[in-house]
Amino acid sequence: MNITRQEVEDFLYHEAELLDEWKMQAWADLFAKEGTYVIPPIGSPNADFKTALFLVHDDRARLEQRALRLLKKEAHVEFPHSKTTHNVSNVRIVSNEDGVVTVRANFITYRAKRDFLDTYVGVNEYQLVQEDGELKILSKKVILNLEGLRPQGKVSILL
């Protein structure tokens, strides 16, 4: 696949905008049919999900369910919704082989909720593919560069 860094950046900025605007179904639609979204344990970015407890380990069906659930009033931790700002930087195309573009990008996500401001920092690793003529996320791995989550110990937003 012939894709430029600018096209990748535009795609990642669009993803960030969808998340900040709480357009969760449109965000889920960015993923390929076989897409995955994972957040490995803090400090263990290469952990095996079979032997380690991941913060998130979703296939496409599960990430769609997560995205839709976050929009419901029953998702008490996110009702009313947090205010988020997703910043993407240092976008690099790592490889482009066999129709899969591997991308790394730094991120900072700010979450304001109930008089708290949480800051999540790290690196996103993507595998992007063409599906039905559109750029899609085959995999997104969120590597948190934190020592821990603040006392509640959870991530209730999509990073």
Residue 87 pairs in a beta bridge with 108
Residue 26's Cα: distance from chain center in Å? 13
Q: Residues 53, 113, 17, CA angle at the centre, nearest 5°?
A: 80
Q: Which helix (H) or strand (E) holds 86?
A: strand 83-97
pLDDT in the model for residue 9: 98
pLDDT in the model for residue 152: 55
- At 79 the three-state DSSP class reads coil
Nearest 10 degrees: Cα torsion 142, 128, 18, 72: -70
Tokens describing residue 31: 């993923």
Residue with tokens 């800051």: 119
pLDDT in the model for residue 116: 86
Per-residue pLDDT of the chain (159 residues), as tens digits, is: 889 999 999 999 999 999 999 999 999 999 999 999 999 999 999 999 899 999 999 999 999 999 889 888 877 778 888 999 999 999 999 999 999 999 999 999 999 988 888 899 999 999 999 999 999 999 999 999 998 887 556 687 888
- Rounded Cα distance, 157 and 82, in Å: 8
